[in-house]
Chains A and B, each alone.
Chain A
Amino acid sequence: MLGERARLGGFAIPGRISAGGGCRLIAARDGWIALNLARGDDRDLLPALLEQAIAPDDDAALERAIADRDAAGLTARGREMGLAIAALDETPVSPAVERLGPCAQVAPPRRAPLVIDLAALWAGPLCGNLLRLAGAEVIKLENPNRPDRMREGEPAFFALLNQGKSNVALDPALNADRAALLALLARADIVIEAARPRGLAQLGIDAAALAAQRPGLVWMTITGHGARGEAAGWTGFGDDCAVAGGLSAALRDASGRIGFVGDAPADPLTGIVAAHEAWRAWHSGAGGRIGLAMSAIAATALTEERAFDPALLHSELAEWGTATGQPFPPAPMREPAAPARPLGADNARWLG
């Protein structure tokens, strides 16, 4: 899948700018930070982050300003502001996978689950795709006023991730749509969402209450850095979360180079772990909320690779560090079995 995305995007092995182009590694006074500015108005926050006037597109001035500041202070301040930012030498603050509420044990079901995938971008939709391949019925839910931008941004990759899913479009900010969404969620066996907890609450969706009402419901909450405490408010995407998980620190230690490892690897790793955990919970009848923190999942993957074969990991990272600018390793390309369904194409079927 990484190879497919690299091929579709014409990606080169990244150095200090991520393969997708949205995230960059910048030297602070005492260490490196990864700052993701992929969203349209992220750069409007830079003067407040740095407490100085700065032209929105002046990357040289941005680097100079960051060079004068501490990595930890910048990271804390950026996170408070909702920026996706990480320090290269930080340690994830949450467990990779954790129960976020009581586990409601029911008799193991003997049927295929109905999955509602509320997530956008990559990690959540990959989880939905893997559950579909395992036999689940999957509905991708999109907000028509805030659709999954990967639909437009990377249409071929979007089709790979979302092929075979029904598509329902509802705007939870509208009362009628919210009622329809809650009715649909009441039928779900597995829910996948990747909103920050307060964002979900502000939409009137109470994950804990829904999970409590329906024993056996498996509710997957994907976050950048955790679903509890201060970290629940932090934003994280695939590249910065991989840095927070220690992948760029491991690259530096193995190769002496500062750069991104892979292409937003916290996304696919989280999608795979989420699908595995959701499937296992559903089949054993162990309902409830399960939290997945992308930065900690990246850290766990690194730890497992190191335990599996430390010399191999070291040589792979050393090689990656010297391959900056070269194309990604070639990968065969799958054709999606069917195009992704248009926005709201299955509203009548599921909301009727």
Chain B
Amino acid sequence: MKAGTRLKSAVCDTEVMVIRCGEGTIECGGAPMAEAKPAEAGALNPDFAGGALMGKRYVDAGGKFELLVVKPGKGSLSVDGIALGQKEAKPLPSSD
């Protein structure tokens, strides 16, 4: 998938922008994300209900995936069932 692609959650309001992407299925709330929203929202998997925070970047342990939340929601982000972690806040510049 191309960097810059926008993906929507099938179960909640979450939307992300793909910053970096490897092989695997990107999910939110336990369900695969897609460029279009399904006609009817699916059920939120309680194991992936921690929420996605606006403006935060989420990464996998291997550093293959990075997603930027552009719209927050109740589902949490995962790839192939493995939860992504929140990336540390961007350090401010040492000078501007």
| C-alpha spacing A80/B16, complex, angstroms | 11
A122 at the interface (CB under 8 A from B): yes
| C-alpha spacing A305/B1, complex, angstroms | 50
A149 at the interface (CB under 8 A from B): yes
Which residues of chain B are within 8 angstroms of A237 by Cβ–Cβ distance? Answer: 93, 96
Contact with A along B8-42 (1 / 0, CB 8 A): 00000000011110000000000000000000000
Minimum distance in angstroms from B93 CB to a CB of chain A: 3
User: Are the CB atoms of B54 and A149 closer together than 8 Å?
Assistant: no
Per the 8 Å Cβ criterion, residues 92-123 of A in contact with B are 120-122
A50 at the interface (CB under 8 A from B): yes
User: Are the CB atoms of B93 and A121 closer together than 8 Å?
Assistant: yes
User: Are the CB atoms of B2 and A233 closer together than 8 Å?
Assistant: no
Contact with B along A180-197 (1 / 0, CB 8 A): 000000000000000010
Minimum distance in angstroms from A328 CB to a CB of chain B: 15
A36 at the interface (CB under 8 A from B): yes
User: Are the CB atoms of A41 and B90 closer together than 8 Å?
Assistant: yes
B53 at the interface (CB under 8 A from A): yes
Given contacts A81-B68, A82-B55, A202-B53, contact A47 B92 (CB under 8 A): no
Minimum distance in angstroms from A34 CB to a CB of chain B: 12
User: Are the CB atoms of B93 and A38 closer together than 8 Å?
Assistant: yes
Contact with A along B48-84 (1 / 0, CB 8 A): 0000011100000000001010100000000000000
| C-alpha spacing A162/B54, complex, angstroms | 32
A51 at the interface (CB under 8 A from B): yes
Minimum distance in angstroms from B40 CB to a CB of chain A: 27
Report the nearest B residue to A173, measured CB to CB.
Answer: B89
Our pick among A48, A53, A199, A202 for the contact of B18 (Cβ within 8 Å) is A48
| C-alpha spacing A262/B66, complex, angstroms | 36
B91 at the interface (CB under 8 A from A): yes
User: Are the CB atoms of B3 and A22 closer together than 8 Å?
Assistant: no
User: Are the CB atoms of B3 and A149 closer together than 8 Å?
Assistant: no
Report the nearest B residue to A42, measured CB to CB.
Answer: B90
Per the 8 Å Cβ criterion, residues 51-65 of A in contact with B are 51-53
User: Are the CB atoms of A49 and B4 closer together than 8 Å?
Assistant: yes
Minimum distance in angstroms from A262 CB to a CB of chain B: 13
Which residues of chain B are within 8 angstroms of A47 by Cβ–Cβ distance? Answer: 3-4, 19-20
Given contacts A49-B4, A51-B3, A198-B55, contact A44 B95 (CB under 8 A): no
Report the nearest B residue to A38, measured CB to CB.
Answer: B93
User: Are the CB atoms of B96 and A80 closer together than 8 Å?
Assistant: no
A271 at the interface (CB under 8 A from B): no
| C-alpha spacing A238/B96, complex, angstroms | 7
User: Are the CB atoms of A45 and B19 closer together than 8 Å?
Assistant: yes
The 9 A-B residue pairs with the shortest CB-CB distance in the complex, in nearest-first order: A153-B94, A38-B93, A51-B4, A47-B3, A149-B94, A237-B96, A48-B4, A48-B3, A153-B95
Binding site for B on A (CB under 8 A): 9, 20, 22-23, 36, 38-42, 44-45, 47-53, 80-82, 120-122, 146, 148-150, 152-154, 196, 198-199, 202, 233, 237-239, 264, 267
17 contacts between A and B (CB under 8 A): A22-B95, A39-B91, A39-B92, A40-B90, A45-B19, A47-B19, A48-B18, A48-B68, A53-B3, A80-B17, A81-B70, A149-B93, A154-B94, A199-B55, A233-B54, A233-B55, A239-B96
Binding site for A on B (CB under 8 A): 2-5, 17-20, 53-55, 66, 68, 70, 89-96
Q: A148-B92, A233-B54, A237-B96 are in contact. List 11 more A-B contacts (CB 8 A).
A: A38-B93, A47-B19, A48-B3, A81-B17, A82-B55, A120-B92, A121-B96, A122-B96, A149-B91, A198-B54, A202-B53
